[in-house]
Amino acid sequence: MRIQQRQSSLQVGLVCRTGLESGTSRSASGTYLGTRPGFTLLELIVVITIIAVLAALTTGVAMRFYGIQQQRNTEVTITKINEHLKNHWDTVIRQAKDEMPISPQAMALAGGPGNDVQARVIHIKLRIKQEFPMDFNEIMNPYPTDLPPLQMYKDAVVLMPANAGLSISTPRTPTPMENATCLYLALLRSRGGTSFNFDNVGSNAVATDNSGYQNWLVDGWRTPVIYFRWPTKNVELDHLNPATLGMKQYTYRDPEDPDGALFNRTWWINNHSWPVWTPFEFQLHSLVQIKATTPPDLTWPYVPTTGSPFPWNSGPFPNQPGAPVPYYVWAYEYYMAPVVASAGPNKNFGLSFPSLSVNTTTGTCFSVPNPMDIDGSGDDADNIYSYRLRLGAAGN
């Protein structure tokens, strides 16, 4: 009997101790003390809200950091590309200055014999266009009086399966990717000991299609990096001309025409007696400005508002809304340096690209390079330009 009572006591003691250690001792009413139900709905909502806020803050910081990194990578890429493009550019100019004879295409654009000085400048520009095409039209469908396209470029474009669905023998509206591909091809070419190692801009700066035949340059947002060969009518860039009033280069702003051959009054007026754009404008770039007043320096070639050859309904902008009537037409040489550009975070350039035009004499379609006209108020406001990255440098 005593043994049974002692065993019962031990069992009760064990039960009590177990209950105490587990925090579940019974109260006088028989319920366990120290028990707790699960989280309430309100508590779960509070916890989830805190986690969401912390995640949002962390994501925001990470995205800002990533955006800054993309911006920096793009600036580095554009700076390096621009430096090497300028080296290649200068090499072509040095070679073209001494090439003999002057190409018959340049002589024709200059107006024939007797205009050798102008023909030399035009020859340099035609060589630049030949070496630095801005789209596939200039490679596969050049203007009839351009210099022959380089075979290296033609072979490369023909091999690009990305264009299998397009007819590269028929001109079409160019794209930023075409421009970025042409920039890649231009830098791939070795000139006078000047070559470009694409590893210097990083593996992420070169995009390729699945076949590996087409490569183009991209920015930190994987958008094509484009370039403008002759960025005329870009007021911002034009104002970077390091020459000051009174200096020769203040008037003769074009670095490819340092002596103002294309600014010669007689040559300029003879070359600009047109109802439409001249062959020079079609093939190369603008040499005029349209204003309601005379030039700031009356030694600049210009045509008055009355009389031949520029009555109000002729010239480069006949009957165009917004053109001053009557208007003055100035000879004008823009301060031009090749510009490399990124579309920036919004991935939209907001700029005009070369358009298609038709030679009414031959019926040939070709690209007409548009000016790099920037107002900074639309999609181009966040663009990244090479000349801004080196603001204050001479740029020529």
Encoded tokens for 169 = 């023998």
Question: Of the given ranges (10-24, 40-54, 172-186, 312-326), which has the lowest mean pLDDT?
Answer: 10-24
pLDDT of the residue at 22: 43
Alpha-carbon 281 to chain mean position: 22
* Residue 277 CA neighbour count, 13 Å, CB half: 18
From CA 151, how far away is CA 29, in angstroms rounded?
Answer: 100
Going by C-alpha positions, the residue among 262, 246, 259 that lies closest to residue 333 is: 262
From CA 79, how far away is CA 385, in angstroms rounded?
Answer: 9
Give the list of residues 6+ apart from residue 295 with CB closer than 8 angstroms, or none: 302, 328, 330
Give the list of residues 6+ apart from residue 346 with CB closer than 8 angstroms, or none: 379, 382
Please name every residue paired with 217 in a beta bridge, in sequence order, or none if there are none. Answer: 206
Encoded tokens for 120 = 């030399």
Indicate the DSSP class of residue 250: H
End-to-end CA distance of the chain: 116
pLDDT class for 84, splitting at 50, 70, 90? very high
pLDDT tens-digit readout, 25-73 = 444 445 445 555 666 888 788 888 888 888 887 777 666 656 688 888 9
pLDDT of the residue at 14: 41
pLDDT tens-digit readout, 202-236 = 778 999 887 778 899 999 999 999 999 998 878 88
- Helix, strand, coil shares of the chain, percent, nearest 5, are 40, 10, 50
For the chain, give the number of residues: 396
* Residue 310 CA neighbour count, 13 Å, CB half: 23
Alpha-carbon 204 to chain mean position: 17
Q: Return the residue matching tokens 């007021």.
A: 235
For residue 169, pLDDT beyond 70: no
Regarding predicted confidence, which is higher, 233 or 337? 337
Encoded tokens for 123 = 């020859």
pLDDT of the residue at 275: 54
pLDDT of the residue at 165: 61
From CA 268, how far away is CA 264, in angstroms rounded?
Answer: 6
Regarding predicted confidence, which is higher, 347 or 359? 347
pLDDT of the residue at 121: 97
From CA 11, how far away is CA 297, in angstroms rounded?
Answer: 116
pLDDT tens-digit readout, 255-299 = 999 999 998 888 887 877 655 567 888 789 888 877 777 787 777
For residue 102, pLDDT beyond 90: yes
Amino acid at 23: G
Mean model confidence pLDDT for the chain: 77
pLDDT of the residue at 217: 94
Alpha-carbon 309 to chain mean position: 37
Q: Are 91 and 192 contacting, i.e. CB atoms less than 8 angstroms apart?
A: yes
Regarding predicted confidence, which is higher, 58 or 318? 58
Query: Which 3 state secondary structure label does DSSP give 84?
Result: helix
Q: Return the residue matching tokens 């920096």.
A: 72
